[in-house]
Amino acid sequence: MSINKVKYRKILAHSNLLIMAFRQKTKAKQGYGVQANVIKGVILTLSLLVSTAYADTPKSYFSTFKDKSLGLLGPKSDENFNKANVKALSNFQIDTSAIPELPMVTSFDPNMPTGTNYMPNVQRLAFNEAILRAVQRNPDISQAIANLASQNANIDVARAAYYPQISGGLGTGDLTSGERGRQVINLSLTQMLYDFGKVKSTVDVQQARLFAEQANVLVSMDDVAYQAANSIVQIKRYQEITKIAEQQIAGISRITEIANLRARAGISSQADPVQAQSYLEASRSNMIVQQTQLRQYQQKLRTLLGFDVSGLQWSLPERLIVDSNLYQEPEFNQVPKMILAQAQIEVAKAELEQTRLSNYPTLNVKGSLSQAINGRNPNNNEDDGFYHSIMLEANSNFYQGGATTSRTKAASYAEQAARARLNTEYLNVLDQVRVLREEIENKQRQMSILMARKETATRTKELYQEQYKLGTRTVVDLLNAEQSIHSASQEIEAARYDIYTAIVNYIAQTGRSRDLYELNNISIQGFEVQ
């Protein structure tokens, strides 16, 4: 037997039970016990009907009926709510005339090395692939998308006010009087005819909030993309610095062996091996510090990607710097935080309009049906009487103690606050852009100086080695020269990856994550950026 037939028979059985209950009460002589049993039977029957509908109804049972009647009985949900059209969201202009600018900075030397030659030629996970995996599985993005879906449902709730509102119920007479045996079945319908745009304003508010939730998803995506990109940059940084620390240990170990040989031969002081050993222990401690930093960022990336990344080497794309458009004016209406701020302005404007329209009346048409059972119908005072009515109704809130005026003021100030937030976000982006440009330029100048320092330290070590053999230099001089070389090397790599860190931050601040990390026009947890 099909599920539909089984369900039909269950409903028919419950309906028969209800009919029998009503017939039973008519045979009684107004006994309170019988009336109570009847009421219990009705309530039980209704409960069974509700539970059966929820427990036994397959999804496909109502699908055909829903498709045919949805447009008549209620609003149809927007199926494209999970697709953000950035072109539409970013269709706004920013008035920056009243916002003070920060000083401009000059461009950097394009001939400055970027450090891509320092990348080891080993198997690597693609940079953009790792970022995509991070955003595909991040729970913050899942939460933002769930909030988006919830808000889309709120639009349907608001649109439902355009459609008939039907209610019904079963009531009894006064249980303390002679009317206690009476039951009255009521059914009422209300249809809004004209409300001066109040329902539309409510829909507009919910639609504006939907756009804000879409912007929230974009903000979450950019934040996760930045976390993943920055973690990869820091892993790459400490992988390189750890290699330098290992080279430092190897270099100081060689000097220690030479100092031990010379001390045993009586050529140099017995204190030389002790001093060399001290330097060796310090270099080992430094390597542990760098390894700790490396493992911390590997753990961070492991949390983002969901698997162990400690055995992977990473390659930073050369286009990362070129395509970041470091010295082009940012497209502020593409920045997710500014898109969100603008969406919140639209929410505030819609709420202000909703508050303003709340003073206007609403015109409804109302209809009602009532059927008395085992008693008089209070609407027409007839035994077992049937009553119906149709009327027009107009209602309005004429005075609420000044509450409406106060709500209008609050909504107006909320709009001002939202506009101020947009200006704040603009200044924040502008400030970060200028600061990051300045930092990149300074780091590139620093790298030039550090490279020259490394060359000088290398020549100094060569000279000290010869002088140490001749006894004109101490082992401390030789150790300091060795340490100076590796210190300069570490600082060079630190400055190099400070530039990459700033570039990744710049990409996040200017809203270019989706373009550079190839996150557009793909499904991310069911959400698509068009």
Q: Domain range spanning residue 3? A: 1-61
- E-strand spans in 18-136? 83-84, 124-125
> 235: closest CA among 136, 321, 127, 129?
127
The verdict on residue 142 lying in a domain is no
The verdict on residue 335 lying in a domain is no
What is the pLDDT tens value at each position of the chain, 530 positions in all? 444 444 445 444 544 544 454 445 444 444 444 444 444 444 444 444 334 444 444 455 455 555 555 566 667 777 777 788 888 888 877 766 655 543 333 333 434 333 333 333 335 679 999 999 999 999 999 999 999 999 999 999 999 999 999 999 888 776 666 665 678 889 999 999 999 999 999 999 999 999 999 999 999 999 999 999 999 999 999 999 999 999 999 999 999 999 998 888 888 788 889 999 999 999 999 999 999 999 999 999 999 998 889 888 888 888 888 888 888 889 999 999 999 999 999 999 999 999 999 889 999 999 998 888 877 777 777 777 788 889 999 988 877 778 888 888 999 999 999 999 999 999 999 999 999 999 999 999 999 999 999 999 999 999 998 888 888 888 999 999 999 999 999 999 999 999 999 999 999 999 999 999 999 999 998 899 88
- 8 A C-beta contact, residue 371 and residue 386: yes
Final residue before a domain boundary, out of 61, 83, 112: 61
User: What is the C-alpha end-to-end distance of the chain, expressed in Å?
Assistant: 48
Final residue before a domain boundary, out of 61, 77, 93: 61
- 8 A C-beta contact, residue 338 and residue 94: yes
The verdict on residue 27 lying in a domain is yes
Q: What is the number of structural domains in the chain?
A: 2
Structure tokens at 394: 């107009």
> 338: closest CA among 81, 83, 99?
99
- 8 A C-beta contact, residue 190 and residue 163: no
- Global pTM reads 0.74
The stretches of 309-402 forming alpha helices (DSSP H) are: 319-322, 336-357
The verdict on residue 381 lying in a domain is yes
3-state secondary structure 404-426: HHHHHHHHHHHHHHHHHHHHHHH
HSE-up of 115 (CA within 13 Å, CB side)? 24
The verdict on residue 272 lying in a domain is no
The verdict on residue 8 lying in a domain is yes
The verdict on residue 131 lying in a domain is no
Burial (CB count <10 Å: 0-12, 13-18, 19+), residue 217: buried
- 8 A C-beta contact, residue 407 and residue 420: no
Residues constituting the chain = 530
Produce one character per residue of 328-364: b if its CB has 16 or more CB atoms within 10 Å, e if not: eebebbbbbbbbbbbbbbbbbbbbbbbbbbbbeebeb
306 CB contacts (<8 Å, ≥6 apart)?
133, 137
- Measured distance CA(438)–CA(199) in Å, rounded: 52
Containing 171, the helix (H) or strand (E) segment is strand 165-172
Final residue before a domain boundary, out of 349, 370, 395: 395
The verdict on residue 209 lying in a domain is no
> 309: closest CA among 490, 162, 123?
123
